[in-house]
Structure 1
Amino acid sequence: MSDQKKLYKYKDLTKVATRLRDDLNNHHFVLLYAYNGTGKTRLSMEFKDISKKRKKNPVTDTLYYNAYTEDLFHWNNDLENDSERHLIINKSSRFFEGFRELALEEKIFNFLERYTDFNFTINYDDWTIVFRKQIKNPKFRPEAEEPEYIILDNIKVSRGEENIFIWCIFLAICELAIDGDESYSWVRHIYIDDPISSLDDNNAIAVASDLAQLLKRGKEKVRVVISTHHSLFFNVMYNELRSTGHKSHFLHKNGADGYVLRATDDTPFFHHVALLTELKKVSDSAKINTYHFNMLRSVLEKTSTFFGYDDFSKCIYGVDDEVLFSRALNLLSHGKYSIYQPTEMNEDNKDLFKRILNAFLDTHNFQLPEIFA
C-alpha cells in the first residue's frame, strides 16, 4: 500500500498535532481538509501548546490564526450616541507584541486594499481602531461647490469586512515573521485555520493565492499548517503549493475512537469522495439524520459543476423517480439542518435518502475508499 493510500488512526487531537509537527520536519507545508465540527480549531491549539508543555525548554513557537484570533477584537458600538463606533484590541495578547513600535498600518493596508474599499486608523493610546469609507456624494454637480466624494467616519463594517481586516493584520504579522523582524523572531511555525469562512468564492481564491505567494517566500524560515473546511480554498492552496512538495491530509472523526488521517497528496479532491463514503455508511445504517440530505445535495451540486450541468438534478437524469428525487432534495435540504443538532429522519425519508444516494452511485460508479473501516 502506497503512503498516499495509508490510513493513520489517532486516539486524540494531541496525537494528531504531534503527527503534523513530525510532517513539518520533512515538509515546508501541511494542508489539512476537515469538515466543520471535526475539531480543527482545537487541533490548532493542541499544535501550538505542544512546544509550551515540554518538560525541557518549553517555548512558544507558533503564530496562529483561528477563531480565537478573531476574539482578540470586539466592538464598542456606542449604543448611547450611535456615532463613535470602534473596534477594541486585546493588547495583552502576544499577537500584538510589535504593534506600537512597528506601526503596521501601511503593511496592513497593502493587504486590505486588495479585498475592500474602506480605510482605518489605529489609536495606540487606547488600543482602538476606527474605520472610514469614501463614497460618492449624491449632491455633487460639476458646476456646484459640493465635493465629489465624502468621507464616512466611525463606520461599523460588516462581519465579513471585519474578518478580512483581522486577516490582513495577521498577514502583516506573518510578513514580519518571514522577514525576520526581532519582535516575531520566536515564530517557527504558522498555523492557519479557516481564514475565509465569511468570504465569497472570488475572495476565497484571491486570499488563497495571496497567502500562497507570501508563504512560499518564507518557506526557509517558517513551517506552516493550513486547515480548512472550504473545498475551493483547499484546492487553490493545494495547486499553488504543489511545487513545494507539501504534505496533504484528509482529517475525519473515527466514530467514538478518535481520528483518522488519510494522505491525499495525489488526490486533492479526495474529500468529496470521502463525503460519499460517509453517506454510504450512514445509508447502510439506521442512523440517517436530516442534515445528511444537505450533504447529499452538496455532493450532487459539486458533481454537476464538474460536468458542466446547469442543475444538480442532471446527476440523476434518466433514473426511475427522477422528478421525485429532485423535488425531495429541494424540499429536504435546508440550512436549518445542522450537524451540531442532529435530528434523525423518519422512516419514509430514510428510504427516500437511500434510493437517491444509490441512484447517484449507480449512475456515476464512484470507487469509494474504506476510510472508516
Structure 2
Amino acid sequence: MSGKPKIQKFTNIGKLVTRLRDDLTGGNQGFVLLYAYNGTGKTRLSMEFKDAGKRKNKGNPDTLYFNAFTEDLFSWDNDLDNDSARYLRLNAASKFFNGLKDLALEESIGGYLSRYTDFIFDIDYDKWTISFRKDEASYIKVSRGEENIFIWCLFMAICERVIDGAESYAWVEYLYIDDPISSLDDNNAIAVASDLAKLLRRGKDRWKVVLSSHHALFFNVVCNELKKEPHKKYFLHRPECGTTYTLRATDDTPFFHHVATLAEIHKAAEGGKLYTYHFNMLRSIMEKTATFFGYDDFSACIHGVEDEVLYSRALNLLSHGKYAIYQPMEMVNDTKQLFRQILSAFLNRYRFALPDILEQPATTSAPIPTLELKP
C-alpha cells in the first residue's frame, strides 16, 4: 500500500524560496506549479523569489516576473480636465520595459490581444504612454479586465523576446508567474492558460519557471498542457495565516485541489471556526461536482436528503453575500449548525477521500452530525 504524499513544512518564506529554487536547479525539472488559495501569500512569495536571485547575483536580477506589482507599473491618466484623452502611463524606470522601444513588440502584443478582445492600442515612446481605440472612438478607457489582458499580452511578447535571445533580456534565468488571469471569464482563462503553456514549452531550454494560481480551471489547463514536460506540482498552504508554509506534492493526486478545499472546509466545521466565506467555498465545490456528474444545478448534489429544499435555499442565499476573506465574519451558532448539516449531507452522498492537508488531527469540539440519506 502506497503512503500518502509527504507534506513538507517551512518555518519561513525564505526557506520555501530556497526549496523552489533547488527544485529547479537540482534536477531536470523545468517547471514548478503551485496551487494556493487567495490570501496564502503568493505575491509575496514571488517577490521573495526575485529578491533571492538579486542577493545571489550581487544585486543583478535573474527573474522576470508577472504579479500584482507588474500591473502597478501601469497607471491611468484619465484627463480629468477635458475627459477625452485617456491613456496608460508606463513606469519607464522599470527593467521590465528594457526592450519595449528597441524590440518593436507591437506586432507580438497585437497577435495575442486579438485572441481575447477587439480593441486596438498605440504606444507613444516619447511620452511612455499607451492609448486605446475601438471602432471610431479614440483614447478610450478600457475595462479592468481588458487592461489586465493587455498587460498580460505585453508580458507574453516580452517572453517571446527572451526566447529569441534579445540582449535586453539576457539576464533572465527564471520566470515567476503569479495569477495572471484576474478579471477574466472562464473562456478567456482557458485560452490564456493554453497560450501560456505553449509559450513555456517553446522556451523550456531558455528558462526555469514557477507558476502559482488560485484559479482551479486555469491551473488544471496549464498542468494538462505541461504534463509531458518534467515538472513538479504542489499544493501550497499557509496554516492559519501564520509564518509557516507547507508544500504537498500533487503529481499523482487527480483533482487534489478540489478535495483539498473540501478538506479545509471539513476541518473548519469540525473545529468550530466557520466564517461566512465558507458558504462560497462549499457552493463552488458543489457546482464543480454537479458539472462532473452532468447535473443542471448544484442543488442536485443534495437531492433526496432530509430538508433538501431548506439546504438548497440556504446555500443559494448565504453564498451570495459580500464576504471578504481578508475581513472574515464568523457565522453565528445557528448558521454554523446549518452549514454543518449541509456539508454532512453532501459528504454522505459523495464519499470523498479527504486528505489531511496539515498532517495534524482536527479538533472535535463541534462534530459534524451524520445524516441518514433517504434511498
Report the TM range for the smaller structure's normalisation.
over 0.9
Amino acid at match of 2:69: Y
CA distance in 1, matches of 2:145, 2:91: 20
- The residue aligned with 1:138 is none
State which of 313, 316, 341 in structure 1 corresponds to 2:302.
316
Structure 1 88/205 Cα, relative in aligned 2: closer, same or farther at 3 Å?
same
Aligned partner of 1:116 in structure 2 is 117
Aligned to 1:45: 47
The aligned counterpart of 2:319 is 333
The alignment of Structure 1 onto Structure 2 pairs a total of residues equal to 356
1:204-245 CA deviation, whole Å, 9 max, x = no partner?
111111111111011011011110011000000000000102
CA contact under 8 A between 1:238 and 1:268: conserved in structure 2? no
Q: CA deviation at 1:286?
A: 2.1
* Aligned 8 A contact 1:3 1:263 in 2: no
Equivalent residue number for residue 145 of structure 1: none
Distance in 1 (alpha carbons) for counterparts of 2:118 and 2:282: 38
1:299 aligns with 2:301: no
Alignment of 1:187 with 2:188, yes or no, is no
Structure 1, unaligned runs of 5 or more: 135-150
Deviates more, 1:328-337 or 1:177-186: 328-337
SS in 1 for 2:133: strand
Question: Does the 8 Å contact 1:120/1:129 carry over to 2?
Answer: yes
Question: 1:103 offset after TM fit, Å?
Answer: 2.0
- Where 2:248 maps in the other structure, the secondary structure is strand
Show the counterpart of 1:63. 64
Distance 1:351 1:133 in 2: 52
- Is 1:350 matched with 2:336? yes
Partner Cα distance (1:261, 1:68) in 2: 24
Q: Which amino acid counterpart does residue 261 of structure 1 have in structure 2?
A: L
> Quick one: structure 1 residues 2 and 183, their matched pair in 2 at CA, closer, same or farther if it must change by over 3 Å?
farther
CA separation of 1:43/1:128 partners in 2, compared to 1, >3 Å: closer, same or farther?
same
Q: Is 1:288 aligned to residue 274 of structure 2? A: yes
Distance 2:351 2:329 in 1: 29
Unaligned runs of 5+ in 2: 361-375
| Distance in structure 1 (CA, Å) of the matches to 2:277 and 2:253 | 26
| Partner amino acid, structure 2, of 1:13 | I
Match for 2:13: what amino acid?
Answer: L
What is the TM-score of this pair, normalised by structure 2?
0.92
Give the match for residue 247 of structure 1. Answer: 232
Task: Report the equivalent of 1:371.
Answer: 357
SS at structure 1 position matched to 2:271? coil
SS in 1 for 2:192: helix
Report SS of the residue matched to 2:247: strand
* Greater than 4 Å deviation, 4+ residue runs: 1-4
Query: Take 1:85 and 1:197, find their aligned partners in 2: how far apart are those partners?
Result: 22
User: Matched residue of 1:238: which SS?
Assistant: helix
Give the drift of 1:59: 2.9
1:246–1:16 CA distance, 2 compared to 1 (3 A) = same
Percent identity, aligned pairs only, is 65
Tell me, yes or no, if structure 1 residue 197 matches structure 2 residue 193: no
Name the stretch that deviates more: 352-361 or 327-336. Answer: 327-336
- From 195, 200, 214, the counterpart of 1:229: 214
Aligned 8 A contact 1:4 1:266 in 2:
no
Provide the aligned C-alpha RMSD in A: 1.4
Any idea what the Cα deviations from partners look like across 1:250-292, whole Å, max 9, x if unmatched?
1111233511111111224211101111111111112111111
Displacement, 1:14?
1.8
Residue 116 of structure 2: SS of its match in structure 1?
Answer: coil
- Alignment partner of 1:20 is 2:6: no
